[in-house]
Amino acid sequence: MKKTVKVVIACATGMATSTMAATKLTRELAKRGVDAKVTKGNITDLAALTETILQQQVAQALKDAGLGFLAQQVPPVLFHSTPLPTALIVSPRDVIRQDGNLSLLADLSLEGISRLEDEVADYMDASTLVEDVGGR
């Protein structure tokens, strides 16, 4: 019986990047005779599926390696994905150039983002922008 390989491809929005990658990967795997189930989409929508697949694969690897106790994997396997961070971009006012890029927590409020942009812009006499990481 031929084994089906599970592949999950995720990007920020589940549109351009994941679509191109899924199309190319599906084509290449088919050329090599690999039976694959390719799922593509955005990171948020695919988080639970991805976590489940990773947990199953690691648990199987631990079982195959003989690591476990009383039919349980040791250590227990649990994956949890987190939202992508936002980025604070800093640029001089007179030139289009990125002088700084600082990762921020994803749950920063709009008020917090505006305050941060204003404070850094004033302190550094620069242009600032907080932007989502990933494509749109």
Residue 17 tokens read as 């990047």
Query: What is the per-residue pLDDT for 15?
Result: 82
Residues 128, 86 contacting (CB under 8 angstroms): no
Average pLDDT, the chain: 85
User: Under DSSP, is residue 59 helix (H, G, I), strand (E, B) or coil?
Assistant: helix
Nearest CA-CA partner of 90 in 123, 62, 64: 123
Residues 12, 134 contacting (CB under 8 angstroms): yes
pLDDT-above-90 percentage for the chain: 35
- Is pTM beyond 0.75? Reply is no
